[in-house]
Amino acid sequence: MARLSVNINKIAVLRNARGGNLPDLLQVARDCEKFGAQGITVHPRPDERHIRRSDIAPLKQLVINEFNIEGYPDASFLELVLAHKPHQCTLVPDAPGQITSDHGWDTIEKADFLKPIIATLKKAGIRVSLFVDPDEKIVAGAKAVGADRIELYTGIYAKDFHKHKKAAVKPHVRCAALAHELGLGVNAGHDLNLDNLRFYKENVVPLDEVSIGHALISDALYFGLHNTIQLYLRQLK
């Protein structure tokens, strides 16, 4: 079964909107794991529009299963990650003001940039995942720069799912197989939801972990957080 990591950024957005502590980000993280999630993901951005730097230390102490911090590896981000040593760090190529991650690394062009960063994180005992597009050359490049895992960007898959789901998933199938052959773990994330997750999981093998935030939190408005997490876990079984 692929593991479910819940991205709680949207909970932080709601909290920040009023300037208080409602909803309580730490309580939500605790409850997500209590309700069955196998990990918690956060993406602290420079403008702190959702997760704040001050959230990281208490979350690291709280999360039991897996704490995944994702972000662009500038000096400030790396300082934060190395200070708190999450179980996994997912590197994404986002620009500072980007609303959401919408493309992966060019692991070939950015090899010289990524290699020393990955080496530093791994030396600190942190598993490193690279956010990548489903391109076999890019997957091979992720292995070459020393990554432990890739996270396949699933935004295009989600967009094309209802038009031609077999064609949409095909590059992911190939990339997961290659990653496995190269000894890389396979994560996936972006716009996965209750409509498209089961088909993705059934076809993309192996699949170690999915990171889901926006859709899951949106579904929780209707179904409740406990029920929603259970619904997502069923899609992964």
Catalytic positions are 43, 70, 190
Sign of CA dihedral 49, 54, 58, 59: positive
Please report the beta strands in the chain, taking only residues with DSSP state E, as ranges in sequence order.
3-7, 39-42, 67-71, 88-91, 127-132, 149-153, 185-189, 209-212
């934060």: which residue's tokens?
Answer: 80
Q: Please give the structure tokens belonging to residue 22.
A: 């409602």
Buried b (16+ CB within 10 A) or exposed e, 119-150: eebeeeebbbbbbbbbbeebbbbbbebbbbbb
Alpha carbons 69 and 83: distance in angstroms, whole number: 12
Alpha carbons 143 and 178: distance in angstroms, whole number: 10
Residue 233's alpha-carbon distances to 1, 86, 219, 225, 230, in angstroms, are 9, 23, 14, 12, 5
Sign of CA dihedral 31, 32, 35, 38: negative
Which one-letter DSSP state was computed for residue 141? H
